[in-house]
Amino acid sequence: MAGLDPDVAVLLDTMRASGAPPLWSLSVAEARQQLAAATAQLAPEAPHIASEDLLIAGDGAAVPIRLYCADRNGAGPMVLLIHGGGWALGSIETHDAIARAIAAGTDATVVSVDYRLAPEHPFPAGFNDCVATLAWCDVQRLPGQTLVVMGDSAGANLTAALTLHARDNHGPRVDAQILIYPCVDLTTSPPYVSRAQYGGGEYFLGQQDIDWLRGMYLADTADTGNPFVSPMLAEDLGGLPQALIITAGYDPLCGEGLAYHRRLSEAGVPSRNLHFGGAIHGFLSFAGALSSGRDALARIIDWLAAIPAR
């Protein structure tokens, strides 16, 4: 296996030297602040793109979104961006730079959704907000414009769940999905070697973080078997949109990302895996400091640009 990328090793050393406590040891408010500060410092370059904050109708509550428009001539896709952060952390702001880079790089219309967070709003509140936003995107997209759903970590979990929901409920039609270091199995004993190998907490995300976040997201532990919570448990993955799945070698979630890629491929879904062997969980959000993050962002943009119009 490849060793840690040199700049990743430097970043991890810097994080350890800072004395910042692990997320699971903090209050939710403190963890949100710590993640926001880290992403603000380490985010990729944010191109200037016109943006607008809106409220759309949701399931009993208005859903805040931020609309980024590089070019409304319909040449680029419409991308629904679902931020990560363990269903309890993260926001439109933590992923603002990524949204701007995607919009600028592909002439896309990017819709970033500020879904309700746990523990104040456990499953299915945030998921329902994403369902409502996907429906809004379907109405708003221009004729022939492709619709792509994209998310990282918990956002990738919601992305995968959203494509299952759309397939099983007769739409909207999603043309492609991008899953960035996805968490797709929330059972308590997932059989992935990467959880044991890299879950000790020394590689940014640890198993204790995962358990803490899952406990806030799921008020009812029986929900772990719901495919909209654990997409890996869906009996059939056939008929889902083509996928780009990005994994990191030193990520405890790497194993399930690779396994989901295999399952999609076996179900006849075109799926491409980009594996960054020397990277850690969250490396795309740290693209301001990590070459792997910048490379991944460029390759996501290339992949999006190659999707043919409808």
- Residues annotated as catalytic are 153, 251, 281
Going from the C-alpha of 191 to that of each of 178, 186, 188, 232, the distances in angstroms are 23, 11, 10, 12
**Residue 9 near residue 59, CB atoms below 8 Å:** no
Torsion of the alpha carbons at 252, 258, 263 and 268, rounded to the nearest 10: 150
Tokens of 213: 């976040």
Rounded-to-integer distance, Cα 49 and Cα 103, Å: 7
| 3-state secondary structure (DSSP) of residue 143 | coil
**Residue 95 near residue 46, CB atoms below 8 Å:** no
Crossing angle of the two packed helices 291-305 and 96-106, in degrees rounded to 10: 40
